[in-house]
Amino acid sequence: MTDSSKSSAPARSKAARWARRRASQAMDAGLRAFYAADARRGPSHERDFGLSWRSVHGTTYRAAWIADTEELYAVRYSGDTEDAEVTVLAKLGADALERCLSGWRRICDASEPGSYEWLVERARSAWRAATPAF
């Protein structure tokens, strides 16, 4: 590793923290409340799982996974007078998530009504399978 690459890693980390802080200031109140409810969410790595999930009723959603909490969540795009609705669809590790959402990009990118229900069913089925029964 060169000296320049050593010094650029902290700079990238600082830039990433600044970008997250700035994004959180512009975030919808519902999404801000979701992040505030668990301190691990804000600084965690997040993986995007699509911006155009559509319900059978035409409502659109964004989905993402938070590494530190292992939460796959969906955000319903808010209207002018309401906060975004955030729903935790599942708590799954990265490998289980990859398996259960295999093919997700094709489904999401098609932007067809019902794609959101596909996402919800896949995620919840995997979560139920991963949760031990007592």
Give the span between the Cα atoms of 105 and 49, in whole angstroms.
8
- Predicted model pTM: 0.75
Q: What is the pLDDT of residues 55-87, one digit of tens each?
A: 999 999 999 999 999 999 999 986 665 678 899
Q: For residue range 88-129, what is the model confidence (pLDDT) as tens digits?
A: 999 999 999 999 999 999 999 998 999 999 999 999 999 888
Distance of CA 79 to the CA centre of its chain: 20
The number of folded domains in the chain is: 1
Backbone angles phi, psi at 31, to 5 degrees: -70, -40
State which residues form the domain around 73: 3-130
